[in-house]
Structures are given as structure tokens and as C-alpha cells.
């Protein structure tokens, strides 16, 4: 069982307040989503692969460790260039998922291809994250799985060295990762895989598009032309060089700082063509009072110092909800966010946590089944609990730019996706980035 989050002593941290508009040019770590997918595809490929500019953080190190435990050679000694050499996957092996949804949902299908028993467990909070639909789908494809509960950790996959594959029906309304996990391994199944979603809409559609794009880049034949149906044909995956983009979700709090302070933040190294939902982010930040441009320097966000409230369906970009909520707290008009009921099953119940913690700072916020309504009013300082959730910490840091005395109970939870966050954030606010 993973113990890092459970045993790590909390590190309280007072979010710095900005006295001037921020002006920063940053080079942020690579995309967690791209790094995770590239690792899985590389471990299942027919030849070696490299990852240039990957994210080194707890989630991605756990992904590398899980693949290594099953037999893949994964070298992450060089921060800027990871090497993956595929090898026969075998058990017995143990995979520590930590609190990473990608690890707990992407690696059980891979474990079905291993010869032997592969066990999975993680942090206590991981045991309540939705996993049942994936386990049911794998069982219907012939994978033997032993689990203590109806669909949660801990569990064991008794790999047979192959998976028959075929068509499977799944309700992926809780997470797009439930589909991505099946697709990423599907080309290695004997008959490939056809995943048919039945249920409420699948959230985070851009992440599914990223999965399909990266599968195709690795040589897989993928058909996603029918809504809610994805077909991956059986066949080899090619080893290749992956260029990992900067992490857009990780950049959002820094971009939010430009809006709050009327400053300017540039993210270096941004590609002209991105696999991440840049256009959705551009639209949302524009509506909230920012200007987003892509130039030779990188992706730049400028603010006026005034933040506007908006009414928005965030179902495609639910990872942005915590930071956008913090922005909405500082806006000149009310906001309403919908379409994000599924983030109740993320690292914590993010809707309840956001409502509770901002209310403790004096906010007027109402929780709905699938979102939040925010009516801005002056906030006060105080302790903001993060619930071991990196996105909650990001939200608190954004609020702290304008509200003195916001103290995070545990800033170290940001190591999940960006260990450098506290130093980068303080450097940006003080002008020493």
C-alpha cells in the first residue's frame, strides 16, 4: 500500500500576497497526461522509446514504477529525457497507485497482458476513487480480477500473458480515464478492443482525444468516428520519441495570477499545435477578463486587474474548476459553473471541499449536484485545507494573491504533479522567478 501521503508531515504555507502586478516568464514541467500515456504506450511498444521534457512528479514516478515492477525497463535518471525499453510483462508484481487516477486506471489493463499476479493499492483516499466500471469491463474481456470491494482498491489482476479483447460496454461518466485505460492497452489485445460508452456524457473529452492522437502516433489504428464508441484494432505499437508539452492544467494558476493582479505571465516552450485544450482555456480566461496569445516567446496571458464572473459548463476542462473558482471569488459579478459533478470522485470531493474551504474564508458559495454558484464578496485570511489535493492548493494560492493570510495546511500535496510549485509561485509573486 502507498504510504507517502499518509505519513508525510503536513507543511503549512502562507500563500504570498501580490503587492504589484506579476510579470513572469516561466518554463513549467511537462504534461502529466501526456507523460502518463507515453509511458504506457512505450512499455507496450515493439521497440525502445524516449520521452523528452517529461513531468517528474509523484504521479508519473508511480506510473514508471508500476511498469517497471511488471518488467519494463524505465530509466528516469535524466530529468529531461526518459528511456523506456519494453520487455515481457510478468508477475508477481505490486503497483502502488498513490492517489493517481492515471495509474489505477491505465495499469490494470496492462496487468492483464502480464504473466502472473499483479496487485494494486494506494493511499487511503485512492480506495474511494471510481474504478468499478473498468474492472467490470476487464472481467467481461476475460481478465481475472480479485478485489475486496465491488469496484475499488485493493485488487489483484491474475494476468494470463494475453487478453482476448473484443467489444465491451462501460459507463465512463465518472471519468474519461476509464475509457483511456482500455484503449491504451487495446492494440495488444488479441482482437483489439471496441469500447462503447452507455450513460451520462463522458467528461474531459480533450483527454480522450489526446489518448486517440497518441495511439495513432504510436501506429495504432483507431476509429472514433461514432459518438461514444472507440475501436482500436489489434497490432504492434511502435517505439518512438515523444515530445511532452508543458502541462496546461499546471499552468492555469500562474495564468490566473495575471488576471488577479493585472499582470502578464508567459509559459515558454508552448507548441503551435497542442494536444491539450488550449482553445477552451483561452475562451474561459478571455471571458473572465484576460487576453491569451501564442507567440514566439510562448503562451502569454495578460490581465487588466479586473476579473469578470461567468456562467460556464466546465465538463470538458474539469481540472480547471478549483482555480476558476478562486478567480470567481475575486470577480466583479457572480459565476456559475456546471457539468463537473464527476470531480466529486477526484482526489477529494472537490465541489464540497471548495465550497467548505472558501466559505471558511467568508465566501458566499452554493454547491449544486454538478457545480458551484459563487457570489463575490470580501474574503478574509485563515486556514485552507487541501485534502491532499494539488488542485485545492492551487486554488488557495490564487486566492491568497488578493487576500492576506491564506494559510494552506499542506502545500506539499502539490508534489503530486509539480514539486516545484511553492518555489515557482513565490518567485513569481516576488519578481524573482
Residues with Cβ within 8 Å of residue 225, at least 6 apart in sequence:
none
Residues with Cβ within 8 Å of residue 265, at least 6 apart in sequence:
22, 23, 24, 25, 26, 254, 255, 257, 258, 300, 301, 428
Task: Report whether 432 belongs to an annotated binding site.
Answer: no
Q: How many residues belong to the chain?
A: 433
**How far apart are alpha carbons 84 and 95 in whole angstroms?**
18
Task: Report whether 416 belongs to an annotated binding site.
Answer: yes
Task: Report whether 391 belongs to an annotated binding site.
Answer: yes
Task: Report whether 101 belongs to an annotated binding site.
Answer: yes
Task: Report whether 371 belongs to an annotated binding site.
Answer: no
Task: Report whether 350 belongs to an annotated binding site.
Answer: yes
Cis ω for the linkage preceding 154 (within 30 of 0): yes
Find out whether 39 and 68 touch, Cβ atoms under 8 Å.
no
Task: Report whether 42 belongs to an annotated binding site.
Answer: no
**How far apart are alpha carbons 291 and 281 in whole angstroms?**
11
**How far apart are alpha carbons 244 and 276 in whole angstroms?**
11
Task: Report whether 31 belongs to an annotated binding site.
Answer: no
With CA atoms as reference, report the closest residue to 206 among 331, 82, 31: 31
Give, in order, the Cα–Cα distances in Å from 261 to each of 206, 264, 306, 429. 29, 9, 8, 10
Task: Report whether 46 belongs to an annotated binding site.
Answer: no
3-state helix, strand, coil in the chain (%, to 5): 35, 25, 40
For residue 74, the cross-strand partners are 84
Task: Report whether 333 belongs to an annotated binding site.
Answer: no
- Which residue in 61, 245, 264, 319 is the catalytic one? 319
**How many of the other CB atoms lie within 10 Å of CB of 384?**
26
238-262 burial: b if 16+ Cβ within 10 Å, else e = ebbebebbbbbbbbbbbbbbbbbbb
Task: Report whether 290 belongs to an annotated binding site.
Answer: no
Task: Report whether 390 belongs to an annotated binding site.
Answer: no
Task: Report whether 176 belongs to an annotated binding site.
Answer: yes
Residues with Cβ within 8 Å of residue 46, at least 6 apart in sequence:
86, 236, 237, 238, 239
Task: Report whether 162 belongs to an annotated binding site.
Answer: no
**How far apart are alpha carbons 346 and 129 in whole angstroms?**
7
**How far apart are alpha carbons 227 and 293 in whole angstroms?**
32
Q: Can 198 be counted among the known catalytic residues?
A: no
Find out whether 221 and 232 touch, Cβ atoms under 8 Å.
yes
Residues making up the binding site for phosphoenolpyruvate: 32, 101, 129, 177, 350, 391, 416
Residues making up the binding site: 32-33, 37, 101, 129, 175-177, 204, 319, 346, 350, 391, 416
Active site residues: 319
Residues making up the binding site for 3-phosphoshikimate: 32-33, 37, 175-177, 204, 319, 346
Amino acid at each position: 500500500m502507498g504510504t507517502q501521503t499518509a505519513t508525510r508531515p503536513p507543511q503549512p504555507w502562507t500563500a504570498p500576497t501580490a503587492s504589484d502586478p506579476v510579470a513572469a516568464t516561466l518554463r513549467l514541467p511537462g504534461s502529466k497526461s501526456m507523460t502518463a500515456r507515453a509511458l504506457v504506450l512505450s512499455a507496450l511498444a515493439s521497440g525502445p522509446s524516449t520521452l523528452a521534457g517529461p513531468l517528474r512528479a509523484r504521479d508519473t514516478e508511480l506510473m514508471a514504477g508500476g511498469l517497471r515492477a511488471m518488467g519494463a525497463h524505465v530509466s528516469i535518471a535524466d530529468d529531461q529525457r526518459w528511456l523506456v525499453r519494453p520487455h515481457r510483462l510478468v508477475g508477481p508484481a505490486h503497483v502502488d497507485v498513490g492517489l493517481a487516477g492515471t495509474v489505477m486506471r491505465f495499469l490494470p489493463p496492462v496487468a492483464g497482458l502480464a504473466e502472473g499476479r499483479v496487485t494494486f493499492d494506494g493511499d487511503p483516499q485512492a480506495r474511494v476513487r471510481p474504478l468499478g466500471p473498468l474492472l467490470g469491463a476487464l472481467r467481461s474481456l476475460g481478465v481475472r480480477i480479485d478485489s475486496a470491494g465491488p469496484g475499488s482498491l485493493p485488487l489483484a489482476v491474475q494476468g494470463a500473458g494475453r487478453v482476448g479483447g473484443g467489444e465491451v460496454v462501460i459507463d465512463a461518466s465518472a471519468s474519461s480515464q476509464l475509457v483511456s485505460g482500455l484503449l491504451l492497452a487495446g492494440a495488444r489485445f488479441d482482437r483489439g478492443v471496441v469500447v462503447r460508452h452507455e450513460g451520462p456524457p463522458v467528461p474531459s473529452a480533450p483527454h480522450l482525444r489526446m489518448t486517440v492522437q497518441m495511439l495513432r502516433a504510436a501506429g495504432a489504428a483507431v476509429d472514433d468516428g461514432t459518438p461514444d464508441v472507440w475501436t482500436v484494432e489489434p497490432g504492434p505499437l511502435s517505439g518512438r520519441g515523444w515530445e511532452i508539452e508543458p502541462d496546461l492544467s499546471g499552468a492555469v494558476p500562474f495564468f490566473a495570477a495575471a488576471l488577479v493582479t493585472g499582470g502578464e505571465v508567459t509559459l515558454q516552450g508552448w507548441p503551435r499545435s497542442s494536444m491539450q485544450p488550449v482553445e477552451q482555456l483561452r475562451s474561459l480566461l478571455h471571458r473572465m477578463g484576460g487576453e491569451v496569445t501564442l507567440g514566439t516567446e510562448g503562451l502569454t496571458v495578460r490581465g487588466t486587474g479586473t476579473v469578470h464572473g461567468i456562467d460556464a459548463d466546465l465538463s470538458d476542462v474539469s481540472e480547471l474548476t478549483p482555480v476558476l473558482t478562486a478567480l470567481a471569488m475575486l470577480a466583479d459579478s457572480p459565476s456559475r459553473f456546471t457539468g463537473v459533478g464527476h470531480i466529486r470522485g477526484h482526489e477529494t470531493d472537490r465541489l464540497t471541499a471548495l465550497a467548505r474551504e472558501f466559505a471558511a474564508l467568508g465566501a458566499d458559495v452554493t454547491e449544486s449536484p454538478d457545480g458551484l454558484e459563487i457570489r463575490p464578496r470580501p474574503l478574509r485570511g485563515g486556514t485552507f485545507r487541501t485534502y491532499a489535493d494539488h488542485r485545492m492548493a492551487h486554488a488557495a494560492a490564487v486566492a491568497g494573491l488578493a487576500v492576506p493570510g491564506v494559510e494552506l495546511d499542506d502545500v506539499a500535496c502539490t508534489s503530486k504533479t509539480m514539486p516545484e510549485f511553492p518555489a515557482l509561485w513565490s518567485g513569481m509573486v516576488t519578481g524573482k522567478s
